[in-house]
Structures are given as C-alpha cells and as structure tokens.
Structure 1
Amino acid sequence: MKFVQIIDYKTSQFDAMSAVLDQWVEQTKGKRTTGHAVTGKDRSDSNHYVDIVEFDSYEEAMKNSQLPETDKMFHEIVALCDGMPSFTDLDVVRDEQINAATARRFFDEIAMGGNLGLIDEVFADGYTDHDVANQELSETGRDIVRRDVTMWRNAFDMTFSIDHQASEGDCVATLWTWTGTHKGTFMDIPGTGRECTMTGTTFFQFEDGLIKEGWWHLDVARLMGQLGAT
C-alpha cells in the first residue's frame, strides 16, 4: 500500500531550506526510498509551505527516515522553520491517475476490445498522430485512429498487456506488448497463422482530458521477421 507523508511548516528562509534538501538528494543517491515529492506554497501566506512526499509503502518510508543523512537534514530543516513542522502520515486508499486510465482504455477497450465508438470519447477532434520511424509522417483526425486500429485488428488477433506506464502532467507514456495470430493481410503479406509478439512505446499528450497527440515507437522489424519477411 502506498504511503504519503504531509509536512506542514512556515519559514522565511525557503531558499536556504531548498539548498539543504538539494544536498540531501545528492547525498542519498542509491539509498533513499522516495522518488516523488511536491512542495506547495500558500497563496495567502508566503511563509506557509506544505510538502507531500510519496513512498511505495510505510516500511519504505521508515527505511528512508532511518538514514543518517535524513536525520541530519531534519535537524537542519527544523532550524530554518518558524516553529516545529507538523507531520501527517497517510495510507493511500485511492490513487487515480485519470489520464493514465484513459490511455489504458485505448489499449484495453479500443485496440484489443474493438470498441471503435469509444474513439470519440478518448481522442480530441484535432488529434495528431506521429510515426517516430518516419518523422515526416504526421496525420490529423480521429479517423486516423479508426483506420489504423481496423487495419491491425483485421491482420492480427491480438491481446495487449501493459508492461509499464508513467504519467506526468498532461503526458502518459506506455510500454506495451501484444501477442496474437497473424490472420489477415499485413503489409502485403497474407495471413500466415503464425503466432507473433510485438513490443512498442506510445507517448500520449492530453488536452482537456482527451488525447491530443500520439507518438508511436513500434518494433516493426521484429514483427516482420516473425512473419518470414526481411
């Protein structure tokens, strides 16, 4: 279960505090157990700050707190605060990354499930599609998605798996793998009945909750080798 610690404090020496934190980050390379921290500044009180620090679990947070560098950093931070900071420890009971979930809907419900009607709900009207292997090939419109999904589904009976997904701001990167049977014509190669595997990475940029642009990295060479082509 993910664990989040919220640190609430006031300071008139934020730049000095940032320097202490930067030093801690440098000194704890390979040892610290947190990879995501956010600092917010109160709009109504310029000396009021809140840190939100995320860990994979409470146990990982305890490992982090027991580092000698963390203990040293804590005392230096407290000395720069106007009073003692407050700490709130939270077990995360809901972690919803909406854009990442929308990206998964493309792979699960559209590409694999064949629900082409969902394209209008997931992709922006002016969606732009980029083929990383051919930088000059950029196409615009939801119909591009319908065309490509139809082509792939007619050629292969495929099942997608999401190997890894990372979301930051309005961007979502997805590393995926599909496996399936070559059942129809693909790049002038008639269906062979061969079992194929293909990997790729898709980078989606969102705008107003819809996919506005997509960049595709596809291991086409590996796929063509499996189909007996050079």
Structure 2
Amino acid sequence: MPETSASVASFWDAFAASFDEEADHGLRDPQVKAAWAERLRSWMPPSPADVLDLGCGTGSLSLVLAEQGHRPVGVDLAPLMIEQARRKLAAAGFDAAMMVGDASNPPAEAGASFDVILSRHLLWTLPDPQEALRRWIGLLRPGGRLVLIEGRWATAEPSEDQSYEVGSESMPWMGGVEAGRLLEALQPLVKTSRVEPLPDPTLWGRTIQDERYAVVAFA
C-alpha cells in the first residue's frame, strides 16, 4: 500500500471501534435506519441489483441493501472498518463481499460491472474526485446509476479539519462539495442527473444546518 494510502487507512482505522456510535453511521436507532432504508429504496432499481458500495465504512448501508434483496459489494481503504463490515453482514446472515481497497480506484476483484455505484461522504477525502467519478461511471452497466450522498458542511468536524492531512496531496473538496459543483463535475460524464436535498433530521439523528443531499446520475 503506498505511504499516503497507508496514512489514510490508519486515520480511519482509529475511528473503527467508535464509528457506529454516530446515528447515521451505525443506524442503530430503528427510526434512523428506517429513514435510510426508505431513501435507499427510492434510489435503487428493483432488486436484486449489483451495488458497489464505495467507502463502505462499517457496512451499514450495505446491510440495508442486502436486507432489501440487493447484492452489495463493499470497498474501504481501512482494514478495521472492513472487519466491522464483515462481522455486521455475517451476523445478519449475509455473505456479501467486503474488501480492503482504494474506493477511488476499486480493485479488480470487486468486479467490473454494476447496476449501481453508491458512495456516502467519500468525495471530500479524495485528491482527485473528478477522476474517481470518471472511473466509477466506467464500472456501470448501460443505464446504470451513480448514487452520491454528499454535502457541504458549514464547519468540518475537528478531527477532519485539524488532523486529516495525509502526505502532500491536496483534497479539493475538503469539507464537502456543493450540489451545484458536483453536478457540474458530472455533466460531461453522465446522461442525466438530479439532486435530492436531505434535510430530514431523522436521517442524521439530529437537526442539521448545513447542506446535505443526494445526487442520482444515470450513465
């Protein structure tokens, strides 16, 4: 693993044990989980669909997708996050592939053709988000869709703002990306795209003041 990637993996591994304590990470609250399940159902094609969950973290969204009859494959750079994801899916009775890898350039063993590529709050961590989007769209089947759950946070979390420095690479979308800017980046890559605002506090376990949204784009 390159030095920069190892630094990123170590950063997120440090949060693996406590990551699910955040309401929208662990989806432990039944109301929060139900809210995400409803949104995912509205963004997905009919099941079963092959879904690549990039930056899957501890696998909470992959679990919801599996429960809805889809076939998720999860990729995350942090090994301890993937360990959590594997345990979570296995405990629920699902044999879903959860693997360590660079979500911006998914490993070949993840697969080469998907109905849906999903990511949540991942783009801000990437040194070249435009190139990542291009790669992801190249993995979609004809008519496939890209589901990006993103936002522009008014203030980055202290841990992200102060400590997320890995190597010399810049992260142009640090702190999140506005919906308009993301649509502009996608325009030359997809046929159609739409934005769905996500202000519902039930999704986040709290009231939010910043921009949260999903972009659904079709290849």
What's the TM-score, normalizing by structure 1? Answer: 0.22
Q: Which has the higher helix share?
A: 2
Q: Which has the higher strand share?
A: 1
If you compute each CA radius of gyration, which structure gives the higher value, 1 or 2?
A: 1
